[in-house]
Amino acid sequence: MSNFEARHIIEALRQGVPSRAVGHYFSEARPGIMRKITDAMNRVTDEGYSQGMIVTGRYGEGKTHLLNTVFNLAHDGNCAVSLVSLSKETPMDKPYLLYQKMIANTYLPRHAQPGFSQILEGMTPNSPAASNLQLFAVGDLETDKLFYVLKSYLNTQEEEERFALLSDLEGDFIANAQLRRIYRRIFNIPAKFNTSFSKTKHSMDYFYFMSRLFKELGYAGWVILVDEAELIGKLGKKARLKAYQNMYPFLHGDPMLTNTFTLFALSSSYAEDVIDGKHEFDNLEESMSENQDKARYVLNAMMKAPELLPLTEEEIRQTLLRVQEFHAQAYD
């Protein structure tokens, strides 16, 4: 490590700013929960299915630091990583907005900047990866829109069209009519959608497609890290129910999500303040929702999630010794 890197670490610690670099070099604490997370990620990447976890902790107890540590572990394991914090602009009850923010904050291994366009440009129309993705898009998804998006992207040389189609893959969804025009111009035949795409109904197709895309491009999997999940509690009653239902495929495991591991960080007070305080199980019974079981599964997972406990004296001592070593290198 250079003196410059050591100074960056020390100044990040001094300012109290969560940092992926700090997460990389200070990852020894809490070995028990890190072992559970690592084992789950390894199962996902080895066996091809999806799985999720929730961790809880009090404010300032290290949830964001834990996510940054997992971020680095995932990159070391050749996984694409998405790191988002829930907010008004990134709400769990609207997956089409969540997807857009998630893709904007997706980092590939050995890439300092977010995004995947640089590797998508290397895909050719007749490559095995392109063929597999098109078969998946036309045969396994609820709509076949992504088949037309990908096929058009790979076969057009018009920069404006490529930009619009890439933007669609990034969550700025192209209108069905515009996609039809592009496809007809390229192939001189009409695009016949099996179902008209709606972002409010079919956005999970994009999560499924992206998980398969990363696999076809040679990555071991996709790791999704969601911080500040307690902001779900600030939503209205119906929106919270929708948010729990949307968490279900990421937590329980969805066979359409390929090699995907999702970790939610949640305030340890959520169970008391929201689940009990706002009577979420009673609200669930009153909702008459057909997805009650999914929401109930997520609520129970929140109640049972492991909590980040305060560091032990020995863990604090070892951390301070590492800070001392970094400071010595940084400032001679």
What is the per-residue pLDDT across 265-285, written as a single tens digit (0 to 9) for each? 999 999 999 999 999 999 998
Query: What is the rounded CA–CA span in Å between residue 224 and residue 261?
Result: 6
The domain in which residue 321 lies consists of 1-18+311-332
**Residues 298 and 175 grouped into a single domain:** no
Residue 178 maps to a domain = yes
Task: Point out which residues pair with 53 in neighbouring strands.
Answer: 263
What is the per-residue pLDDT across 192-207, written as a single tens digit (0 to 9) for each? 999 999 999 999 999 9
Mean pLDDT of 67-88: 94
Residue 323 has pLDDT above 70, yes or no: yes
**Residues 198 and 128 grouped into a single domain:** yes
Mean pLDDT of 171-180: 95
For the chain, the 3-state helix, strand and coil shares in percent, each to the nearest 5, are 60, 10, 30
Q: Which residue has the higher pLDDT, 20 or 42?
A: 42
**Residues 5 and 45 grouped into a single domain:** no
Mean pLDDT of 126-130: 94
Residue 209 maps to a domain = no
Query: What is the rounded CA–CA span in Å between residue 313 and residue 163?
Result: 54
Which residues, at least 6 apart from 234, have a Cβ–Cβ distance to it below 8 Å?
none
Structure tokens at 65: 């630091």
What was the pLDDT predicted at 26? Answer: 74
For 36, 72, 83, the CA distances from 21, given in Å and listed in that order, are 22, 8, 14
Per DSSP, the three-state class of 322 is helix
**Residues 143 and 102 grouped into a single domain:** no
What was the pLDDT predicted at 319? Answer: 86
Task: Point out which residues pair with 54 in neighbouring strands.
Answer: 264
**Residues 123 and 196 grouped into a single domain:** yes
Task: Point out which residues pair with 50 in neighbouring strands.
Answer: 260
**Residues 86 and 143 grouped into a single domain:** no
- How deeply is 51 buried, as exposed, middle or buried, from its count of CB atoms within 10 A (0-12, 13-18, 19+)? buried
For 10, 177, 202, 263, 324, the CA distances from 18, given in Å and listed in that order, are 12, 44, 34, 17, 19
Query: What is the rounded CA–CA span in Å between residue 219 and residue 213?
Result: 9
Residue 122 has pLDDT above 90, yes or no: no
**Residues 92 and 241 grouped into a single domain:** yes
| Polymer length of the chain | 332
Residue 216 maps to a domain = no
Residue 51 maps to a domain = yes
**Residues 275 and 127 grouped into a single domain:** no
Per DSSP, the three-state class of 244 is helix
> What whole-number percentage of the chain has pLDDT above 70?
98
Mean pLDDT of 156-160: 94
Mean pLDDT of 91-114: 94
| pTM, to two decimals | 0.92
Residue 163 maps to a domain = yes
**Residues 49 and 74 grouped into a single domain:** yes
Structure tokens at 81: 């990583």
Count other C-beta atoms under 10 Å from residue 193's C-beta.
Answer: 15
Residue 9 maps to a domain = yes
Count: domains in the chain: 3
What was the pLDDT predicted at 32? Answer: 84
Phi-psi group of 81: left, alpha or beta (phi > 0 → left; psi -120 to 50 → alpha; rest → beta): beta
Query: What is the rounded CA–CA span in Å between residue 272 and residue 112?
Result: 39
Any idea what the CATH number is for the domain that residue 269 is in? 3.40.50
**Residues 153 and 81 grouped into a single domain:** no
Residue 212 maps to a domain = no
Residue 25 maps to a domain = no
**Residues 98 and 124 grouped into a single domain:** no
**Residues 48 and 89 grouped into a single domain:** yes
